[in-house]
Structure 1
């Protein structure tokens, strides 16, 4: 039975990859920082098939020991904001380089690296810049690697639609930064399907940009979300100059609190939100994999229902209201004929 090691295998994307590889009959090693907190991955296969293990990707020996015996390696590690030693450079650049180098030394057959659309060495944000430098380091060490660049990823555990739906439930205002920025949300299991093809050798090496079937602005995606959760909220776009000031202020609060206070917005995120996040040209896409991406309308109602005023009973309440209205209307019609 072949073995795949998934760095970040208990995270949002990693768990979907782990589940798919277990179904393929592979042994799965989910490398993470807190394996004792992630027993759920064991249920993806038979006893002993999927195992969470400890790994610190900032340490050579830890990564080398984790990769040992692997036929394939997937790196899902990434952060949207920095904290302590978990910096963009340490994880997305140096960590990616370390994993690729150790994988090549160990004779691993295939390597899949998760990056992000917008990865650019000259990008204004550290997040996008370190993603690009991580890609370069991976390809230098492991030229035949598959690089996957997804747009905003959505799914039951996402931190995008869930986050804003939660905000809409609590307040009448929905503040946005970069309301006109274009996004192409991609379903998490579609991303996992692409990674699976890379692991089993059904995808050619190279860079793949993965986006869903629809492109809309940030504001338009929030309007769709509000329609699904059946809530009204005023969408307010924060001008970029003000957003940058807010980002700097929140960064200062985080620094003064020694990282104890997690800011709702950072300056680096503001810079990233100023760039469109859609599939570009000159790269492989889902079409090259034969994968038809899933639409948001097919998935979002499955997990955003809990943010509706009546939760899972919203549909039942609507049906009851319609039935009552029809009964009243029918009664009036009958009265008119009597």
Structure 2
């Protein structure tokens, strides 16, 4: 039995590769920068390693004992407080590759991106190319796979965006997008399995591209038909609107979120995602499926339609919750301060009235900021639920007549609670 380490094992490609290899009888060791994941039955064991912290081969050597092959699926779109393209694709990846050479790992399969050898439009493609060159310069049996836009059952990043756009009655068309040769996720996983065979060729770089060139809006239209909806109207966005959306994506990314619409995506997609699939077919015998074929083999479920419809509602929900708590705090400390004092006096809190209003406002503000920062969002949502329950209990004990208020200040807490539980339910990105 071959033991294979898969880095980036919780990503779109990584989790499918793990499942494919496990089905073939390989023992799979998953590597993720976050805590051990559950629900990945294909993975025999988990390692927690962050490429940003593992830039020395010595960090990897203890983990490579008994490893026969490594599949590197690590990839990040753009630099932000949680991610760095340079360490993820170049220095961190090189440390892993050098450790593989030192440990005598039999084979390394590395995922790059299509077209990086032709143009480096951003730090993403430049760092990907640096990682490719670092691997190719080592005395290893290596294979570099450069996929186009990968689409399959799981949805993350661009694949999730496509489904979200497919649910809109009017599909916005972004200017300056090049053609795509989308590739089926199943074909990508099959390719990895092929190159882990003992008799498979090595020391080659291959484009993993679908058999047809499609415009981005055609890809969305095919997904809309797959979801069972009539064709949507198309709306060409002006350049300034598209630029604003990309800038908003960059702003959100600084808070630790991963929106697919960012400046890196704008620069990369201008070149499209195209390549020659012929060498891939010749080397592996795999005939890449067209998007229509891949979708036909995987009928859409009601859960797929739920996801598509919820895709753009999710950011709206989180923006509303952040604004709700932060604006409540600001109003409580400014124009609504006297109203808060009057309410506290009605509850006969005495000298605690002023401090109570200020404390409540600061608690609201802390919750709003916690929800906004991706690293603390979950804790912020639970804190919001806890504080809302406290407001219900305190209001009922101190001012029970608030239940009969025409504006329903206590009644309105219940839909607020439901909104927070819904946000928790859809928080995970993968």
2:212 to 204, 211, 214: 214
Helix, strand or coil at the partner of 1:182: coil
| Distance (whole Å) between structure 2 residues aligned to residue 116 and residue 198 of structure 1 | 18
| Distance (whole Å) between structure 2 residues aligned to residue 93 and residue 177 of structure 1 | 30
Matches within 5 A, 1:26-37: 26-36=26-36
1:166 to 164, 167, 177: 164
Find the counterpart in structure 1 of residue 394 from structure 2: none
Higher strand share: 1
Find the counterpart in structure 1 of residue 264 from structure 2: 268
CA RMSD of aligned residues (A): 2.7
Could you give the per-residue CA deviations for residues 84-122 of structure 1, whole angstroms, max 9, x where no partner exists? 251111101112211111100111111110011021374
Name the count of aligned residue pairs: 299
Instruction: Note if contact 1:212-1:293 (Cα within 8 Å) is conserved in structure 2.
Output: yes
| Distance (whole Å) between structure 2 residues aligned to residue 108 and residue 178 of structure 1 | 45
Structure 1: any 5+ residue segments left out of the alignment? 312-338
* Residue 150 (1) aligns with residue 150 (2): no
Instruction: Note if contact 1:208-1:285 (Cα within 8 Å) is conserved in structure 2.
Output: yes
Q: TM-score, normalized by length of structure 2?
A: 0.63
Instruction: Note if contact 1:114-1:149 (Cα within 8 Å) is conserved in structure 2.
Output: yes
Structure of higher CA gyration radius: 2
Quote the offset at 1:240 in angstroms.
5.1
Find the counterpart in structure 2 of residue 18 from structure 1: 18
* Residue 119 (1) aligns with residue 119 (2): no
* Residue 277 (1) aligns with residue 276 (2): no
1:92 to 82, 85, 89: 89
| Distance (whole Å) between structure 2 residues aligned to residue 18 and residue 104 of structure 1 | 22
Helix, strand or coil at the partner of 1:285: helix
2:294 to 288, 296, 299: 299
| Distance (whole Å) between structure 1 residues aligned to residue 260 and residue 32 of structure 2 | 25
| Distance (whole Å) between structure 2 residues aligned to residue 237 and residue 76 of structure 1 | 35
- After superposition, the Cα gap between the structure-2 partners of 1:123 and 1:259, relative to the gap in structure 1 and judged at 3 Å, is same
Higher helix share: 2
| Distance (whole Å) between structure 2 residues aligned to residue 265 and residue 207 of structure 1 | 28
Q: TM-score, normalized by length of structure 1?
A: 0.79
Structure 2: any 5+ residue segments left out of the alignment? 309-430
Query: Relative contact order (C-alpha < 8 Å, sep 6+): which is higher?
Result: 1
Instruction: Note if contact 1:148-1:210 (Cα within 8 Å) is conserved in structure 2.
Output: yes
Moved more, 121-130 or 92-101: 121-130
